[in-house]
Structure 1
Amino acid sequence: MPTRLICLRRAFGKTAARFCCKRPSMLPTSLLRALRVSAILAAGLLSAGAALAQAVTMVPGTGVGLVPPKALPLSKSFSGFGDQALASSILIVEFPAEAYAQILPSFTPEGMKATGVEATGPAVDWRIAGGQGGRLIRGKQTAGGLVLRKWIVLAKGPGSTVMVTAQSPEDKASALPDAAIEAALKTIALKAPPAMSEQIAALPFAVGDLGGFRPVRVLSGSALLLTEGPRDTIPDASQPVVIVASGVGGGEHGDQASRSSFAREAMATVAGVSDLIVDDDTSFEKDGASWSRLAGFGTYRASSEAIWVVQVVRFAPGGYIRTVAITRAHDKDRLADRIDAVAGSVKPK
Structure 2
Amino acid sequence: MRRFAKALLGIFLLLGLSFPAAAQAVFPNQGSIGLVPPAGMTEIPGVGGFEDRAAKASILIVELPPGAYDTILQTFEPQALQAKGVTVEDRRDIELADGHKAVLLTGYQSVGAIALKKWIMLAEGKGQTAMITVQFPEESAARYSDEAIETALKSLAFRAPPTQEEMLARLPFTISDLGGFRVLRVLGGSAVLLTGAGPDAKGGDVLPYFIVGVARGEIREDERESLAKRALASIPGVKDIRPERGGPLRIAGQPGVEIIAKGTEVQTGKPVKVAQWLSFGRGSYLRMVGVMPEEGFEENFTRLRSLRDAVQMR
Cα deviation 1:182-230 (Å, max 9, x = unaligned): 5433321223334333333344654343232122344666653322243
CA displacement at 1:54 relative to structure 2: 2.0
Q: Name the structure 1 match of 2:124.
A: 156
Contact 1:214 1:228 in 2 (8 A): yes
Identify unmatched segments of 5+ residues in structure 1: 1-49
**Conserved 8 A contact 1:107-1:123:** no
Residue 166 of structure 2 is matched in structure 1 by 198
Aligned partners of 2:294, 2:288: CA distance in 1, in Å?
18
What does residue 103 of structure 1 align with? 72
| Contact 1:312–1:324 (CA under 8 A) maintained in structure 2 | yes
Say how many residue pairs are matched: 293
1:158 CA displacement:
0.7
Distance 2:116 2:284 in 1: 24
Tell me, yes or no, if structure 1 residue 188 matches structure 2 residue 156.
yes
Task: State the partner residue of 1:224.
Answer: 192
Q: Give the Cα–Cα distance (whole angstroms) in 2 for the partners of residues 210 and 122 of structure 1.
A: 48
Counterpart of 1:300 in structure 2 is: 265
- 194-203 or 116-125: bigger deviation: 116-125
Letter of the 2:69 counterpart: Y
Deviation of residue 133 (structure 1)? 3.7
Write the distance in 2 (CA, Å) between the matches of 1:331 and 1:236: 17
**TM-score scaled to structure 2, two decimals?**
0.68
| CA gap 1:229/1:301 in 2 versus in 1, 3 angstroms | closer
Counterpart in 1 of 2:238?
273
Tell me, what secondary structure is at the counterpart of 1:239?
coil
- The secondary structure found in structure 2 opposite 1:303 is coil
Per-residue deviation, 1:306? 1.6
- Matched with 1:125 is 93
Aligned to 1:67: 36
For 1:140 and 1:291, how far apart are their aligned partners in 2?
46
CA distance in 2, matches of 1:259, 1:80: 34
Q: Which runs of 5+ in 2 are unaligned?
A: 1-18
Correspondence for 1:214: 182
Larger Rg: 2
* C-alpha RMSD of matched pairs (Å): 4.6
Distance 1:67 1:302, change over 3 A: closer
In structure 2, do the counterparts of structure 1 residues 317 and 107 end up closer, same or farther at CA, with 3 Å as the change threshold? Answer: farther
> Residues 57 and 279 (structure 1 numbering): CA distance in 2 closer, same or farther, change over 3 Å?
same
Structure ranking higher on relative contact order (CA contacts 8 Å, 6+ apart): 1
Q: Classify the secondary structure of the residue corresponding to 1:184.
A: helix
Identity value in percent:
32
The Cα shift of 1:130 comes to 2.9
